[in-house]
Amino acid sequence: MSLTVNEGRALDRAIELETDVVVIGSGAGGATVATELALAGFRVVVLEEGKHVPAKQLGEMRHSQSLRTVWREGGLTAAFGLGDAPTVNVTMGRCVGGSSVVTGGVCFRVPESILAGWSRDQGIRELTAESLDPAYSHVEKAIHVEEVPVSMRSRSTTLFGEGAAKLGYPLVPLRRNTKGCDGCGRCNFGCPHQAKLSVDLSYLPRAVAAGAELWSDVLVDRVVVENGRATGVVGRTVPSGPGAPTRRVKVRAKTVVVACGGIHSPALLSASGLGGLRSHVGRHLTLHPGFRVYARFDESVRGWAGALQSAYSDHFMHEHITLMSLFVPASVIAATMPGVGPEHMARASQVANIAMFGALIHDEGGGYVVRSPFDREPTAIYRATKKDGRAMRRGIQIIGETFFAAGAREVYLPVLGSPALDADAFRRYDFENIPLGRLECASQHPLGTCRIGRSAKTGVVAPDGGFYGVDGLYVADGSVLPSSLGVNPQLTVMAVATFIAWQLREKRPRSSTFA
């Protein structure tokens, strides 16, 4: 199914639109809400800041081209560590389809222990395994969630699995939103075969076919609120190049849905005068800080041959650690090997012998997002609790121990300035005192900054996604999740967005006349 997109940068004049629902953001949350409401007969307008890059075109790009074209800030956005906390590279998409275009496609349902915590600790009893099951099943069918076969595991993952078995814990197959995957390992940079069913392939074409109007290259500056009710948005087109003009865009709507993600949704709400010192807008940022450990083997590994992500282990979830298979481009591995000059060249030349595994942390939510007065991009600050710090250090140690159990000659830790370590040096390494500020951390999972709460005293939105204090305003993306999940959130974001959309479907009349 083809996708028709109106390009804001091609406009030669200001425009005003009128609709039932305007959705800001076309990623996992926004695309889901837009599609469900369009299929239900609502007039829907979707506004996306990024450009539209057809999936086939993206799949033909080099890694560096993909970074420049569809990743926000070229993949260099960061949440700055405060105190004893790492600075975390937060990668996000900036294109039609949002971050779903640049993720590995991993799909988990939220662990029931997390749901139990939401109910027990925060009084959110609407989000249960039973209430979310229809939404999960609906999304899983739409994006074709399937298990990654063992045959598609790379040698890198297989070696780690051998070490894990020797240490007494299993690897479990991952589930991903793919169909026809051949394990080329390019999921984050554009699938050459369009086998990863990101929302630009699985949801948005259905929304447009049902009548939704999708605009790229439109940056929303603020939500318009009149007499306690959201009545639309105002924004501008993103210029086609240096010196190119921008055009004003105004949309009047009965319902406004903010779906800009965990970093940008709170920034937009703040820019709209919604939030403040006593508000939870922008607070409680969690990131699932993740890191990877390299290991060098005597044998050729060629870890790029196989699915980018294929297996995981939740054996250490009680320590807030999820172990996750992955493999980054060989050029990145070579560039980040330790050493200078000839030493670095010697290690970089061994990239075919490198295996890799990663971990993400179920963190406790001490970060926050503030709007920058100087720049479009908000500032994210990350804090780590003592429990988070213990989990980070322990996760690195577990991966290293597992690789040595599999026969690795040496490991390379994600600690700035750390040398390559053989088994003896690894055993002597002072893991408990690693300064967190020296960790190389990354995240694709900013959550919690507009979290669901029982009231405005504990959250930003109600369990139906409605913004406390403003009628007709909803939030439907990762920012509404009340805590980190400890697992990849894409499927849960889409299930919760579906849950919100289904409730909106029942609440809002289908009308072509703006009241």
Catalytic residue IDs: 445
Q: Are 172 and 314 in contact (CB under 8 A)?
A: yes
Distance CA 116, CA 111 (A): 9
Is the Cα torsion angle 165, 420, 287, 184 positive or negative in sign?
Answer: negative
User: φ, ψ for residue 10 (rounded to 5)?
Assistant: -90, -5
Distances (CA, A) of 392 to 237, 324, 422, 436: 41, 14, 21, 8
Distance CA 219, CA 213 (A): 16
Sequence-separated contacts (24+) of 179-186 with Cβ below 8 Å:
179/144, 179/146, 181/148, 181/152, 181/307, 183/152, 183/154, 183/305, 183/306, 183/307, 185/154, 185/304, 185/305, 185/306, 185/307, 185/308, 185/327, 186/59, 186/308
Q: Are 325 and 311 in contact (CB under 8 A)?
A: yes
Short-list 37, 42, 177, CA closest to 100 = 177
Pairing of strands 229-237, 218-226: antiparallel
Residues in the chain: 515
Contact partners, residue 282, CB within 8 Å, separation at least 6? 266, 267, 270, 275, 368, 369, 370, 371, 449
DSSP single-letter state for residue 333: H
Distance CA 376, CA 497 (A): 26
Measure the CA dihedral 150/151/156/161, to 10°. 30
| Residue the block writes with tokens 């790379």 | 154
Give the number of other Cβ atoms within 10 Å of residue 422's Cβ: 14
Distance CA 475, CA 460 (A): 9
User: What is the identity of the amino acid at 5?
Assistant: V
Pairing of strands 78-81, 379-382: parallel
Distance CA 129, CA 112 (A): 7
User: What DSSP string runs through 396-408?
Assistant: HHHHHHHHHHTT-
Distances (CA, A) of 278 to 169, 211, 261, 460: 45, 40, 22, 11
Please tell me whether residue 153 adopts helix, strand or coil conformation.
coil
